Structure 1
Amino acid sequence: MSLSALSQTRKQLETQRKKYNSEIKKLNKLLFNEQKKGKSALEDLRDIKRKITVRNKLISTINLESQILSKEIKTNENEIKKANKILADLKKDYGDMIYKSYKSKSQQSRTMFLLSSQNFYQAYKRLEYMKQYTSFRKKQGEEITVQTNLIKKSRDSLLLKKEIKDRLILSEKNEKKKLKLIRKIKKV
């Protein structure tokens, strides 16, 4: 069962978990109604065994879903680390470029750079170079913004997955407690 369950997606496991929960609710109603009607102890025992089986399946489904979430969280954390490294590199390059640009930024030096050309073609090429340089700086600033937004979205997704996993773990603990209680009833 675990091999086939590992290949299932988290959505499939979530659907399966909901199905098991509804089946448990139906079994609880059935047990309650049958107790009122006074059915035999053998039938009660059979229903309790069925309830135990369904709860065990529910617990294993929750566990598998939790494992998948753990893998997704780990992957997400690795992506955030990579994105942070890329962002740090981008910021460093951008900072270096701005610093060098600031050192040579006087209007006179730009004008002198153009006027010191040996011919019109060279002046035109230098003007194009300055435009490309400005465009590149702007593009780098936009990349930093995009990377920052990507990291923020990844962190939000990570927090959501951790919250879901915590709820699943709590649900699994509750189901184990209920299973223990049912097994005690079965022994009596």
Structure 2
Amino acid sequence: MPYSPEHAVQTRGRIVESARRLFNRHGFEQVTIDQIMAAAGLTRGAFYHHFQSKNELYAAAVASFITCNPFAIQTAEAAEQLRDPRRLARMLVELYLSDEVLENIDLHCPLYALPADVARAGLEPQEAYTDLIRGMGHIYRSALKGVRDASRRAETIVALCVGGMVLARTTNDPDLRKSLRASARHQALALLKAD
């Protein structure tokens, strides 16, 4: 008896989630299809029913962050209270640069967890990564609507958030980790204020 379409969607989701976690922890090159499938509780043969290549899965894993990240979860849980674009943007800056997110590798955004891997991985993962950059920028541009240089500010805020986390992730000095993120947060929040 064939599986239902819902089963196929759920299975694909398990594979993507397994891949996202493993890629975050070990990087694209270090993770095998067999490891991904074992972590998802599936056989290697099932992989090819859902994906043609590891690159295609990588793109799906990067793209999946749009719906499984801590910000998406928090805004979904508090949708009625968070209609103000400025409040949403400030919340994203605070959460993105938080201790909670830095300390939980499974919550790491591909924008700071995987940039070198994505740069080498090919067109599909780069397109998914670009969509994340644009989505994050859109949140900040919406908060800056009517501000003359809204696009430049939004891109600067994205760069501050991502760069702050990249640097914080790479140092073993806990004080520097905090101060890098605090500096990025301070500048990002200042840019969100209207002239």
Fold shared per TM-score above 0.5: no
Q: State the structure with bigger RCO (CA 8 A, min sep 6), 1 or 2.
A: 1
Scaled by the length of structure 1, what TM-score is found?
Answer: 0.28
The structure whose Rg is larger is: 1
Which structure shows the higher helix fraction?
1
